[in-house]
Structure 1
């Protein structure tokens, strides 16, 4: 049961907290409407950004079957697989300033066109009615191609141009050259240009190409699709979809073109080497064939004698091996000659058919280092540490290749000598063959060697030509650049949702801070929390400045109904205490409305047919005279207390209004010694006489905290109506009347709360006062003003 009770208390406290915020619901609604309106304006005039993406495949052995040159795999034209570091290198190449600079220059990405609007200036790309062409530049390198121009199209042939931050404007024809700060330019009109009139202005902005490259480098993103894939995703966020797609496609195209140029460098050098060797071999072959013809003509022979046929067949295999050895020696010597006579850091010919695998692999590694050094030199100098390191590796590898070539040649020469010994043995056996046949065989052997080498070089020349002709791009386009249909920023749903949240948080924060630092009472709940033991007679609503603060005859306003409830509760309170008819009305401090409550309470009590006397006992700060249109110097209580000759009848007044038929004793002149006057026997005498003559005696006394006047006469009261004011009385001050009651300084205290807002009546606006019967309901605008706390409602 105790847990249920605690839970119920927590729920009650939570409801009370929520009610404190719910009563300000118009502020929440207004804040949400304002925030949503601001969000709409932001979305209306914001520049929407879209993301453009493309995917490419960097080819390797695993996807070589996708290559256009896969049919030439037997010729060694397919690439090698990419390692992780090589793959990352390709990403850096894609992001290199060299490639991005070519993209910026090709697309003229440093030139932007804008259309001026009343509020928003929009960027144009293909929709621009003209394009800017830079015809020539000044020789001064310090002058950058930058500038902003305001262009006003006058007709389909003329325009007016003005440099930004300048008042000088000139008129030119489209296509007419004119000079600017960095050179000569011209505006070229498009075919779809229309005369927009004088209301539309265009802005042309030329930024520095280097800055444009930096912006593109920072905005473009390149990342791998997955760890085990060689597919790259290129993305670019931009408000211009067409420009972004063109930029990404141009970047991929520039990357492929650069890769093809790098790959063809080796093939071109190989082709040049083969062409030179073919020229030499052709001359040597022609010489051998000429010698053979001359030999046969001189000796008049057409065939070798049959006697040496058997021995010749036995030596055939040795001859084949000699031909192969001679070919290899010739190739190796040619390679040595080319290596020693070529310029430093020149690519070596590859795929010549050298049998020694060590030399072939060393040549491939040497060419890879040469290409790497050339790529580094494109963006750095010879003094770059990376370039020096690669150059050192190239020099070391070149020395190793020379040593390997010399070793291989020496090995082949030794093997060739051994073959010659074998051949000499066979020649000894065919010593009987005529010398003519031997000489003829020597000539034919030389011819065969030259023909073999000639045919071999012809084959390599064709292979090299094929590799040059069939140049597959290194990056295969998986998906060309495409853009998202929905903008990535700003996102309307998030903006509107954020505006709603912000619209709730702003008033919530303001109200929370207000409640956090608010130490005033606002309704009877606040009063009951501070002083739960003392009764509350009623709640008096706040009134607007235009409304009357005095109850009228047959008044059915909220104010009148509130005082009627106060009158009823006061009657029950007096009966329960068996008190007399003397009612003191007081407060803690000035400004809480005790005089206002006392005067209207007198009117309400008189409306029941009772006789009522209102006495102004606050002789330090009299206020009752304001309600009956009398001067504050009118004779009253202070004169009566001071002068024993003054009678009660001489100081008794009546209000001028017929509905306010009760007697009033004003405070009179402000005396120098109010406390002493109130302590005299004459004040007790006037109270006793009024008690016997009137049904109700209402005494408007001074505030208890500021002066001691009320405490001096408090024992004469039968009931004390203690007035506090909502939104004015501090909660800490409520402990003072409680102390006065506990100490017996004030008798039969009952509270009246003045100045309560309509929404704070009772235990919440739902159960507060309604409108009087027959009273016209306020308009929606008036109720909204009250809810927003406009005026004094």
Structure 2
């Protein structure tokens, strides 16, 4: 249980350390966020916003015919047939066809675009245009090449124009025709436009080809079903554009053009039927007039007013047969007319429908044949006769035409058989009425012919009116459910999303950089790093990093952060020595060169001297002596190496007095660099000098060589009562801290304690919790200095 609580506390401390670590770079996070949000703002400010414009239409079929204005004529068979899936997909492709889109482009003149040149971006204009370009010769508009006209309004009557960036600047008047590369044009001003008042600014008129405008529109427009349900006939038309009104006008115009095209296709069959009926009426009128004239002549010649009552009963029986014969004769006449029309008509000509032929097979064959003709004509509008689909339709049409002929022949033969049967029955009755005067019989024949012609004449008149009604009440195929409208919110750029991305990126950039820097960072930075690596060894103090302009040596009554750090180091060293009941010999060493052991040893000596203690500083690093850098002595003095080499040299002859603003302490320099430093340090002379001076001074500070590079320090380490092991922040590798621990564990160094040199002020203590503040005589740095420190430009 205790182990779990301990692990939990460690994880909590580790998390807090991580948070504190990243909070040290708070300024970089604020700077990164500021830059990213500023970039996002500028992007939003100068980006072109795009909006979604939509229109919804209903493709009419039998299931929604009741919504149509033509529903009252359902009994005449004027409603369309239901759309299957294939036909529905065909309507989608027709809406996106180049033929319809070309007409939309021409109606809206979408190939001519107007732009206003701004200081940062160029924006397209659609409404409130300052002027309009008129092209007089539009016969070859499809062959026009793309042109760019740069126009500057000079006044209400004049403007400057040049073709492209390299064109010659010319001056013209508004409404005055002039010639350019695309032909004769003119500019019509719109002085009421707000844009017209932007004088001396450039406007661009981009003239593109219709084909290019159609291609652009095909890429932008999307047509799709609003539901996956196959029974739904509702389509949604969508365009994403920066110009709301232009997109809405494009969608509304496309629907209007589609309806116009569909009405034209629907009227093709009705128009051909009307023409056929008119021709037949002219023939029947002449025939009926001839029959009626013959009847009048016959009655006048024979003075006939009524048929004798004797033959009335037989005639009534024959009447029913005559009615059947009339119906058969009418059907045969219609079939003959249809057969003649097919024989004389050209290929791919629509056949008359709804003529009253009673045979269902013939009517169905004619309707299917007409549907194939219309589909072929619509495909030819956007393709050629070599199209495989067109060829397949042509083959089907030929086959269906033969089927129609065969059906007509079959029905005609059936009617002939029926007619012969009726005639046989009439002949039988005729034998019974043989006594009826031949005049009455002849009169009946004439009336029969008259009845047939009248029935056919009235029938054709009825069909002509029905066809006229069909032409008059033809409604659009696409019913508008929702006219084109544009969403208020743009689809791109999206402010919320962009600002969210800016925030994420603003946090992520410094976080990733700091994470990578931390991940690959193997140096120590503060006492926390040292405690993690060697938790069993104490830390005496932390020495701050100093600016290059500051002095490396503390002075009397010094109130700097550096002086305070050495006072803390001095105090902790005193406690450490007392706790161990050690002597006064203090070795100062490090792992490698450059960690600041001589700097720590020298200033520690000064700090101890300020407490009125007698201090001796010995330079025992005789391979690379550094103490002389801090002593302003012009004369060369002998030092420790001479003492170790020459037994005639005594301690007093190598001891030097150092005065730091009235504070005196003794220094024994390293002397000349010998060829055999290890052997000299192993001699009894070094042990002798230590034994001699330790009783004479309160503190003996020995500056020794780095332990990892040479063996000198390890040779004399047992003579130390306390070892101050110096490591340097931002310089010492964490792995090197294991080396002094091993030396301590193996007994090669006694009573070791760390002094951390070169720590930044922000890294003092545990996340600055115990760092040195301002107020104890230390002047607060300027805002500029703190800013540089926050940016890590100043250590």
TM range (shorter): over 0.9
- Paired residue for 1:581, among 576, 579, 584? 584
Measure how far apart 1:180 and its partner are. 4.3
Aligned residue in 2 for 1:384: 387
Is residue 137–residue 184 contact of structure 1 (8 Å, CA) maintained in 2?
no
Aligned residue in 2 for 1:327: 330
Take 1:619 and 1:12, find their aligned partners in 2: how far apart are those partners? 44
Take 1:13 and 1:370, find their aligned partners in 2: how far apart are those partners? 82
Take 1:659 and 1:51, find their aligned partners in 2: how far apart are those partners? 85
Is residue 546–residue 552 contact of structure 2 (8 Å, CA) maintained in 1?
yes
Deviations 1:727-761 (A, max 9, x none): 11001212222233334333322110011122322
Is residue 566–residue 604 contact of structure 2 (8 Å, CA) maintained in 1?
yes
What number of residue pairs does the alignment pair up? 791
* Range 81-90 or range 706-715, more displaced: 706-715
* Range 684-693 or range 254-263, more displaced: 684-693
Is residue 141–residue 209 contact of structure 2 (8 Å, CA) maintained in 1?
no
Take 1:548 and 1:200, find their aligned partners in 2: how far apart are those partners? 64
Aligned residue in 1 for 2:479: 476
Is residue 114–residue 124 contact of structure 2 (8 Å, CA) maintained in 1?
yes
Take 1:760 and 1:71, find their aligned partners in 2: how far apart are those partners? 90
1:250-289 map, 5 Å: 250-289=253-292
Aligned residue in 2 for 1:162: 162
CA shift in 2, pair 1:112/1:459, >3 Å:
same
> What TM-score results when the alignment is normalised by the length of structure 2?
0.94
* Range 326-335 or range 674-683, more displaced: 674-683
Unmatched 5+ stretches in structure 2: none
Deviations 1:715-735 (A, max 9, x none): 332222110001110012122
CA shift in 2, pair 1:165/1:683, >3 Å:
farther
Take 2:70 and 2:517, find their aligned partners in 1: how far apart are those partners? 78
CA shift in 2, pair 1:719/1:5, >3 Å:
closer
Measure how far apart 1:674 and its partner are. 4.0
- Paired residue for 2:790, among 776, 783, 787? 787
Measure how far apart 1:278 and its partner are. 0.9
Aligned residue in 1 for 2:91: 90
Q: Tell me the secondary structure at the aligned position of residue 461 of structure 2.
A: helix
Say if 2:22 is the partner of 1:21: yes
Take 2:663 and 2:147, find their aligned partners in 1: how far apart are those partners? 84
Q: Tell me the secondary structure at the aligned position of residue 123 of structure 1.
A: strand
Is residue 138–residue 183 contact of structure 1 (8 Å, CA) maintained in 2?
no
Take 1:126 and 1:222, find their aligned partners in 2: how far apart are those partners? 26
Take 1:36 and 1:329, find their aligned partners in 2: how far apart are those partners? 87
* Range 9-18 or range 534-543, more displaced: 9-18
Aligned residue in 1 for 2:527: 524
Aligned residue in 2 for 1:705: 708
Aligned residue in 2 for 1:409: 412
- Paired residue for 2:542, among 521, 524, 539? 539
Say if 2:474 is the partner of 1:446: no
Say if 2:140 is the partner of 1:145: no
1:673-752 map, 5 Å: 673-680=676-683, 682-752=685-755
Q: Tell me the secondary structure at the aligned position of residue 346 of structure 1.
A: coil
Is residue 625–residue 632 contact of structure 1 (8 Å, CA) maintained in 2?
no
Deviations 1:7-26 (A, max 9, x none): 33333333333332232222
Measure how far apart 1:631 and its partner are. 5.4
* Range 679-688 or range 702-711, more displaced: 679-688
Is residue 112–residue 204 contact of structure 1 (8 Å, CA) maintained in 2?
yes
**RMSD over equivalenced CA pairs, Å:** 2.6
Take 2:410 and 2:368, find their aligned partners in 1: how far apart are those partners? 19
Aligned residue in 2 for 1:298: 301
- Paired residue for 1:465, among 449, 464, 468? 468
CA shift in 2, pair 1:632/1:17, >3 Å:
farther
Is residue 556–residue 772 contact of structure 1 (8 Å, CA) maintained in 2?
no
Measure how far apart 1:73 and its partner are. 0.6
Q: Tell me the secondary structure at the aligned position of residue 53 of structure 1.
A: strand
Aligned residue in 2 for 1:599: 602
Measure how far apart 1:566 and its partner are. 0.8
Take 1:332 and 1:561, find their aligned partners in 2: how far apart are those partners? 123
CA shift in 2, pair 1:169/1:516, >3 Å:
same
Q: Tell me the secondary structure at the aligned position of residue 687 of structure 1.
A: helix
CA shift in 2, pair 1:691/1:208, >3 Å:
farther
Deviations 1:37-60 (A, max 9, x none): 111111111111111111111111
Deviations 1:577-596 (A, max 9, x none): 22222222111112111122
- Paired residue for 1:562, among 562, 565, 589? 565
Deviations 1:178-228 (A, max 9, x none): 444444444332242465566522222233433332332232222222213
Take 2:226 and 2:636, find their aligned partners in 1: how far apart are those partners? 95
Q: Tell me the secondary structure at the aligned position of residue 136 of structure 1.
A: coil
Say if 2:601 is the partner of 1:609: no
Say if 2:771 is the partner of 1:768: yes
Is residue 154–residue 200 contact of structure 2 (8 Å, CA) maintained in 1?
no
Is residue 593–residue 706 contact of structure 2 (8 Å, CA) maintained in 1?
yes
Is residue 634–residue 669 contact of structure 1 (8 Å, CA) maintained in 2?
no
Take 2:618 and 2:207, find their aligned partners in 1: how far apart are those partners? 88
Is residue 148–residue 164 contact of structure 1 (8 Å, CA) maintained in 2?
yes
> What TM-score results when the alignment is normalised by the length of structure 1?
0.94
Measure how far apart 1:325 and its partner are. 1.5
Measure how far apart 1:157 and its partner are. 2.6
Say if 2:149 is the partner of 1:172: no
Take 1:235 and 1:195, find their aligned partners in 2: how far apart are those partners? 32
* Range 343-352 or range 111-120, more displaced: 111-120
Is residue 104–residue 250 contact of structure 2 (8 Å, CA) maintained in 1?
yes
Take 1:594 and 1:660, find their aligned partners in 2: how far apart are those partners? 22
Aligned residue in 1 for 2:759: 756
Take 1:490 and 1:335, find their aligned partners in 2: how far apart are those partners? 65
* Range 101-110 or range 583-592, more displaced: 101-110
Aligned residue in 1 for 2:251: 248
Take 2:398 and 2:567, find their aligned partners in 1: how far apart are those partners? 113
Q: Tell me the secondary structure at the aligned position of residue 769 of structure 2.
A: helix
Measure how far apart 1:351 and its partner are. 0.4
Measure how far apart 1:669 and its partner are. 4.5
Is residue 264–residue 468 contact of structure 1 (8 Å, CA) maintained in 2?
yes
Aligned residue in 1 for 2:364: 361
Take 2:462 and 2:255, find their aligned partners in 1: how far apart are those partners? 34
Aligned residue in 2 for 1:127: 128
Aligned residue in 2 for 1:5: 6
Measure how far apart 1:656 and its partner are. 5.6
Measure how far apart 1:266 and its partner are. 0.5
Deviations 1:283-313 (A, max 9, x none): 1122222222333333344444555444433
Say if 2:316 is the partner of 1:317: no
CA shift in 2, pair 1:289/1:138, >3 Å:
closer
Take 2:244 and 2:591, find their aligned partners in 1: how far apart are those partners? 73
CA shift in 2, pair 1:359/1:191, >3 Å:
farther
Say if 2:408 is the partner of 1:396: no
Measure how far apart 1:652 and its partner are. 4.3
Measure how far apart 1:428 and its partner are. 3.6
* Range 158-167 or range 388-397, more displaced: 158-167
Take 1:620 and 1:98, find their aligned partners in 2: how far apart are those partners? 95
Is residue 281–residue 454 contact of structure 1 (8 Å, CA) maintained in 2?
yes
Measure how far apart 1:415 and its partner are. 1.6
* Range 27-36 or range 233-242, more displaced: 27-36
Measure how far apart 1:779 and its partner are. 4.8
* Range 145-154 or range 334-343, more displaced: 145-154
CA shift in 2, pair 1:790/1:3, >3 Å:
same
Deviations 1:541-572 (A, max 9, x none): 22233433332332333322221111111011
